[in-house]
Chains A and B, each alone.
Chain A
Amino acid sequence: MDRKEFLKYGAMGVFGMTMLPANLFAQQTKTANKSLFPAALPFSTKGEWKEFEISIGITEQTLAPAMKIHTLAFNDMVPGPEIRVKQGDKVRVIFKNNTDLNHTIHWHGIYVPWRMDGVPYVTQMPVMPGQEFVYEFTAEPYGTHFYHCHWGTLLHMQSGMFGSVIIESDDDPIKKAFPYEREYTLIYSAHDVNYIRNELNSMLERMKERSFLMKNGRFSAERFNLFNTKEELLESINNGYQPPYLTNQRTSAELPIPNWFTVNGKSYPSTPYLFIKTGENIRIRLINAGTENHHLHLHGHDFWMVCDDGVPLPQPWQRNTVSLSPGKTYDIIVEGNNRGIWTFHDHDTRRVTNNGLYPGGNLLALVYEDLPKKERMVGGMSNMKMQGEMNLLPKIALDE
Chain B
Amino acid sequence: MRKINLILILLASVVFAQAQVLPEIELGAKGVMSGNFENNNTIASSAVSDFSDSQLLLGFRQKLYNNWRSQMVFGMQFPDADSDLGQVFYNHVFLKLENQKNIFKIGRSTTQTILNEFPTLRDDDALLFNYALNPFADGTNTQDNQYGNVIEYTHVHNQRYWLTFHGENFTNLSEPNNFDLNAYGGSFLYSVPESQRWDRAIIQRLGVSYNNYVDEQTNTTGSDDLLSNILGTVTLNLRPDPVHFIDLKIQGIYNQGSNTVDRMSTYSEYVRMPSISTFGTIRYIYRKLERPFLQTSLGFGYKTFVNLNESEQLIGIANVFYRIGDNFDMGFQYRYLSNRGQTELLFGQTEHKIQLALIYSVSQLFNNQFDTRNSILNLEHKYLE
Cα(A223)–Cα(B287), bound, Å? 10
B290 on the A face (CB < 8 A): yes
Q: Any chain B CB within 8 A of the CB of A54? A: no
Question: How far apart are A74's CB and chain B's nearest CB, in angstroms?
Answer: 16
Residue of B with least CB distance to A198? B368
| Contact B375–A201 (Cβ < 8 Å) | yes
Q: Mark B1-20, 1 if CB is under 8 A from A, else 0.
A: 00000100110110010001
Q: Considering the complex, which residues of chain B in the window 193-234 have a beta carbon less than 8 Å from any beta carbon of chain A?
A: 195, 198-199
Partner of B20, one of A204, A218, A357: A357
**Residue pair A200, B6 in contact (C-beta under 8 Å):** no
Pair B9/A11 contact, Cβ less than 8 Å: yes
Contacts of A370 in B (CB 8 A): none
Q: Which of A7, A59, A209, A212 contacts B6 (CB 8 A)?
A: A7
B372 nearest CB neighbor, chain A only: A201
Report Cα–Cα, A390/B326, bound state, in Å.
Answer: 57
Q: How many residues of B contact A (CB 8 A)?
A: 30
Contact B376 A69 (CB under 8 A): no
Query: A88 interface residue, CB < 8 Å from B?
Result: no
| Contacting pair B371 A204 (CB below 8 A) | no
CA distance A169 to B214 in the complex (A): 85
A233 CB within 8 Å of chain B: no
| B199 and A212 contact, CB distance less than 8 A | yes
Known: A68-B384, A70-B384, A197-B371. A209 touches B242 (CB 8 A): yes
Question: CA–CA, A356 to B369, complex, Å?
Answer: 13
Beyond A7-B6, A10-B13, A58-B381, is A201–B199 a contact (Cβ under 8 Å)? no
Query: Which residues of chain A are near B291, meaning CB under 8 Å?
Result: 247
CB distance from B328 to the nearest CB of A (A): 13
A-chain residues with CB within 8 Å of residue B6 when the two chains form the complex? 7
Distance A40 CA – B13 CA, assembled complex (angstroms):
44
> How far is it, in angstroms, between the C-alpha of A14 and the C-alpha of B375 when the chains are bound?
33
A209, B245: Cα distance in complex, Å: 12
Interface residues of A in 182-226 (CB under 8 A from B): 194, 197-198, 200-201, 204-206, 208-209, 212-213, 218, 222-223
**Residues of A contacting B10 with CB < 8 Å?**
7, 10
Query: Which residues of B, 267-301, contact A by the 8 Å Cβ criterion?
Result: 288-291
Interface string of B222-253 (1 = CB under 8 A from A): 00000000000000000001110000000000
Q: Would you call B381 and A222 a contact (CB within 8 A)?
A: no
The reply to whether the CB of A60 lies closer than 8 angstroms to some CB of chain B is yes
Q: Looking at the assembled complex, report how far the CB atom of A386 sits from the nearest CB atom of chain B, in whole angstroms.
A: 8
A88-B240 Cα distance, complex, nearest whole Å:
53
Q: Which residue of A10, A68, A70, A253 contacts B9 across the interface (Cβ within 8 Å)? A: A10
CA distance A274 to B21 in the complex (A): 33
A62 to chain B, nearest CB (A): 10
Expressed in whole angstroms, the Cα–Cα distance for A356 and B16 within the complex equals 13
A7-B13 Cα distance, complex, nearest whole Å: 9
Which residues of A have CB within 8 Å of B368? 194, 198
Given contacts A212-B242, A223-B289, contact A247 B326 (CB under 8 A): yes
Q: Which residues of B contact A206 (CB under 8 A)?
A: 290
* A346–B242 alpha-carbon span in the complex (Å): 47
Task: State whether B384 touches A7 (Cβ < 8 A).
Answer: no
Is there contact, CB below 8 Å, between A201 and B326? no
Q: Determine how close the nearest CB of chain B comes to the CB of A256; give it in whole angstroms.
A: 12
Q: Decide: A60 and B384 in contact? CB cutoff 8 A.
A: yes
Q: Smallest distance from the beta carbon of A195 to chain B beta carbons, Å? A: 9
B362 contacts partner chain A, Cβ-Cβ < 8 Å: no
B377 located at the interface, meaning its Cβ lies under 8 Å from any Cβ of chain A in the complex: yes
Residues of A within 8 A of B380 (CB): 204
CA distance A10 to B16 in the complex (A): 11
Expressed in whole angstroms, the Cα–Cα distance for A212 and B241 within the complex equals 9
- Nearest CB of A to B193, in Å: 11
- Given A7-B10, A206-B290, are A60 and B382 neighbors across the interface (CB < 8 Å)? yes
What is the bound-complex CA distance between A253 and B384, given in angstroms? 25
Q: How far is the CA of A223 from the CA of B290 in the complex (A)?
A: 7
Q: Which residues of A contact B243 (CB under 8 A)?
A: 213, 218
Instruction: Tell me the bound Cα distance from A216 to B291 in angstroms.
Output: 20
Interface residues of B in 342-383 (CB under 8 A from A): 366, 368-369, 371, 375-377, 380-382
Residues of A within 8 A of B381 (CB): 58-60, 70
Would A204 and B377 count as touching, CB distance under 8 A?
A: yes
Is the Cβ of B376 less than 8 Å from the Cβ of A205? yes
Chain B: which residue is nearest A216 at the CB level?
Answer: B241
Contacting residues of chain B (15-67) with chain A, CB-CB under 8 angstroms: 16, 20
* A10 contact set on B, CB distance < 8 A: 9-10, 13
Known A-B contacts A58-B381, A194-B369; the reply to A209 vs B376 at CB < 8 A is no
Is B242 a contact partner of A213 (Cβ separation < 8 A)?
yes
In the complex formed, the residue of A with least CB distance to B291 is A247
Residues of chain B within 8 A (CB-CB) of A212 are 199, 241-242
Q: Which chain B residues lie closer than 8 Å to A205 at the CB level? A: 195, 376
A70 touching B377 in the complex, CB below 8 Å, given contacts A201-B371, A209-B242: yes
Q: Is the CB of B377 within 8 A of A209?
A: no
Contact of B377 among A7, A197, A247 (CB under 8 A): A197
Contact residues in B for A223 (Cβ distance below 8 Å): 288-290
**Given A69-B384, A213-B243, A201-B289 contact (CB < 8 Å):** no
Instruction: Point out which of B326, B376, B385 has the most chain A C-beta atoms below 10 A from its C-beta.
Output: B376
Whole-angstrom distance between the Cβ of A235 and the nearest chain B Cβ: 16
Q: Could you list 30 examples of A-B contacts with CB < 8 Å? A: A7-B9, A10-B9, A10-B10, A59-B381, A60-B381, A60-B382, A68-B385, A69-B384, A70-B381, A70-B382, A194-B369, A197-B371, A197-B377, A200-B376, A200-B377, A201-B377, A204-B377, A204-B380, A208-B242, A209-B198, A209-B242, A209-B290, A213-B243, A218-B243, A223-B288, A223-B289, A223-B290, A247-B326, A253-B366, A356-B20
Interface residues of B (CB under 8 A from A): 6, 9-10, 12-13, 16, 20, 195, 198-199, 241-243, 288-291, 326, 366, 368-369, 371, 375-377, 380-382, 384-385
Q: Given A200-B376, A209-B290, 18 other A-B contacts at CB below 8 A?
A: A10-B13, A11-B9, A59-B381, A68-B384, A70-B384, A197-B377, A200-B377, A206-B290, A208-B199, A208-B242, A209-B198, A209-B242, A212-B199, A212-B241, A212-B242, A223-B290, A241-B289, A247-B289
Nearest 9 Cβ contacts at the A-B interface: A209-B242, A204-B376, A58-B381, A70-B377, A201-B375, A10-B13, A194-B368, A68-B384, A201-B376
